[in-house]
Amino acid sequence: MTDKLIIFDTTMRDGEQSPGASMTRGEKMRIAKALEKLRVDVIEAGFPIASGGDFEAVRSVAEIIKESTVCGLARTGYADIDAAAEALKPARSARIHTFIATSPIHMERKLKMEPDEVVEAAVKAVKRAKKYTDDVEFSPEDAGRSELDFLCRIIEAVISAGATTINIPDTVGYSIPTQFGETIGNIIERVPNSDKAVFSVHCHNDLGLAVANSLAAVMNGARQVECTINGLGERAGNAALEEIVMAVQTRKDYFPCTTDLDTTEIVNCSKLVSNVTGFPVQPNKAVVGANAFAHEAGIHQDGVIKSRETYEIMRAQDVGWSTNRLVLGKHSGRNAFRTRLKEIGFEFASEEELNSAFTQFKELADKKHEIYDEDLQALVTDNMQGQEEKIKLVSMRVVMETGETPMAELTLSIDGEETPGRSEGDGPVDAVFKAIETLVSSGCDLQLFSVNNITGGTDSQGEVTVRVNKDGHVINGRGADTDIVTASAKAYINAINRAYSISSKIHPQV
């Protein structure tokens, strides 16, 4: 019998640690719902002690998720563990994930603790977490650079204290697949009570080896992998969920385990996370990139027409790429709109929300006759962002004429009060951003501006991503519209709104 491989998603915790990827409570709730539909086993929803916003987000996810286990991260201090337990209270199935660093460099220079003190703190934390839930995970942070003897010692101690999952993180992405696989095998063999826990891995991608390291660990006994949608995460990111899951499924002849995921939800999740964070997916990204199933070379196309298996190892529809992507048009009704959104993972909380999104859909359908899933995703993201935002775009007029200086006039609603502003600029987008700044003086420093078309054709919506720096925080904003200057205004306003809502957060690894 093949074992089950537990899929632990940390998009909303480690993924959120990517500069600019912070998510609002509402966004986390949407992502959590999509992950539940994907049938991931564990959803790490955040680090509750990090900020009031994180606490509330974990609590809201715990309230709505019924099928997956909801997990909260905590350092070993009791305040962290108690906050995680409190945030997870409403969960049907809750896990507390506690961690402390075990590498010589982290213990000496960061924690300034002796190894004995680290073991004691870990054991106390696990015992504290056990008071709240049976499901306790322990991670020796920077295990990839920790000494094997010490790892075995601390792992044995925390399993005796009640830890049910032992997660081995390659925190800085330093490991090499064969060596990491062997380490996992050695730990499982040497720790006397290793049969009392599930072994897990959590790999970072600094050398581009996160997925390879995770799979090597699976071949050596790991039965949980921690990963993120699109490989989002600190620095170069974490192991990509879609790559792990499809490797195990496609090569079931090789791997000794299977996952319970509904892989047809993968593309939806990928698009949602990209949409919410404003991190585009590179076209050649495995499984979820736009070109992942596109054949350009004539010889390949010919082969695929004769027999798909000649050049394809997976079927596009098995990961959720639909062949018939045209979904709705200007004559589609409210019910068709609601149904299609439900199919791609959106559910409206109220009739009011549905009505507001439907009005925008009709406006879009007037400008753009063919509405694709990607358009719907962008529309709903914009709509939901809009409801949470302090500043909203009410109207805009931009004048551009050859030889003349571009000029923008706009009205913003700021805390419900409409205020007009005007500015000239080097180009239409510059004029718009300056006009916005005359009204809000946000203090945001623009660092990146990029435009992508959401679908093909000149009537496609443009999706604009901006990245700003505000007081040392990197923040992404996004906006979509058939007019790219309007999309730019929406993206910039979105970034400013996010900048206002970011409260200072404790970073988990400090």
The region of 14-22, 49-57, 102-110, 133-141 touching Zn ion under the rule CB under 5 A is 14-22
Q: Which does 141 bind (CB under 5 to 8 A by kind): Zn ion, ligand KIV, none?
A: ligand KIV
- R_g (Cα) of the chain, nearest Å: 24
DSSP letter at 17? G
Segments in 162-262 forming alpha helices (H): 177-190, 210-219, 241-250
CB 47 within 8 A of CB 508: yes
- Which of 25, 28, 30, 202 is the binder for ligand KIV (CB under 6 A)? 202
Interhelix angle for 334-343 vs 351-367, to 10°? 100
72: left (phi over 0), alpha (psi -120 to 50) or beta: beta
Least distance (Å) from ligand KIV to the CB of residue 53? 19
- Which of 237, 278, 477, 508 is the binder for ligand KIV (CB under 6 A)? 508
Site string for ligand KIV, 335-374 (x = CB under 6 A): ----------------------------------------
DSSP 40-76: -SEEEEE-GGG-HHHHHHHHHHHHH--SSEEEEEE-S
Task: Output the six-digit token pair for 228.
Answer: 């993120």
Least distance (Å) from ligand KIV to the CB of residue 78? 18
Size of the site for Zn ion (CB under 5 A): 1
Least distance (Å) from ligand KIV to the CB of residue 507? 10
HSE value, Cβ hemisphere, 13 Å, CA-based, for 23: 36
Q: Could you give the CA distance from residue 82 to residue 132 in angstroms, rounded to a whole number?
A: 9
Least distance (Å) from Zn ion to the CB of residue 10? 7
Nearest to 173 by CA among 237, 248, 91, 100: 237
Q: Which does 486 bind (CB under 5 to 8 A by kind): ligand KIV, Zn ion, none?
A: none
Residue 139 lies near ligand KIV (rule: CB under 6 A): yes
What contacts 168, CB < 8 A, 6 or more positions away?
139, 140, 143, 144, 151, 183, 184, 187, 199, 200, 201, 202, 217, 222
Residue 82 lies near Zn ion (rule: CB under 5 A): no
Binders of ligand KIV among residues 91 to 130 (CB under 6 A) are: 99
- Which of 9, 14, 80, 82 is the binder for Zn ion (CB under 5 A)? 14
Task: Output the six-digit token pair for 382.
Answer: 């914009």
Nearest-CB residue for Zn ion = 14
Binders of ligand KIV among residues 224 to 253 (CB under 6 A) are: none
What contacts 302, CB < 8 A, 6 or more positions away?
none
CA distance from start to end of the chain: 42
Least distance (Å) from ligand KIV to the CB of residue 50? 12
Q: Could you give the CA distance from residue 211 to residue 221 in angstroms, rounded to a whole number?
A: 16
Site string for ligand KIV, 151-180 (x = CB under 6 A): ------------------x-x---------
* Nearer to ligand KIV (CB atom), residue 27 or residue 141: 141
DSSP letter at 255? -
* Nearer to ligand KIV (CB atom), residue 16 or residue 373: 16
Residue 142 lies near Zn ion (rule: CB under 5 A): no
- Which of 9, 14, 82, 374 is the binder for ligand KIV (CB under 6 A)? 14
User: Beta partners for 326?
Assistant: 372
Least distance (Å) from ligand KIV to the CB of residue 100? 9
* Nearer to ligand KIV (CB atom), residue 48 or residue 169: 169
Q: Could you give the CA distance from residue 9 to residue 13 in angstroms, rounded to a whole number?
A: 9
Tokens 């298996």 belong to residue: 309
The region of 7-15, 120-128, 310-318, 376-384 touching Zn ion under the rule CB under 5 A is 7-15
Phi, psi for 33 (deg, rounded to 5): -60, -40
By CB under 5 A, name the binding residues for Zn ion. 14
By CB under 6 A, name the binding residues for ligand KIV. 14, 99, 139, 141, 169, 171, 202, 204, 508
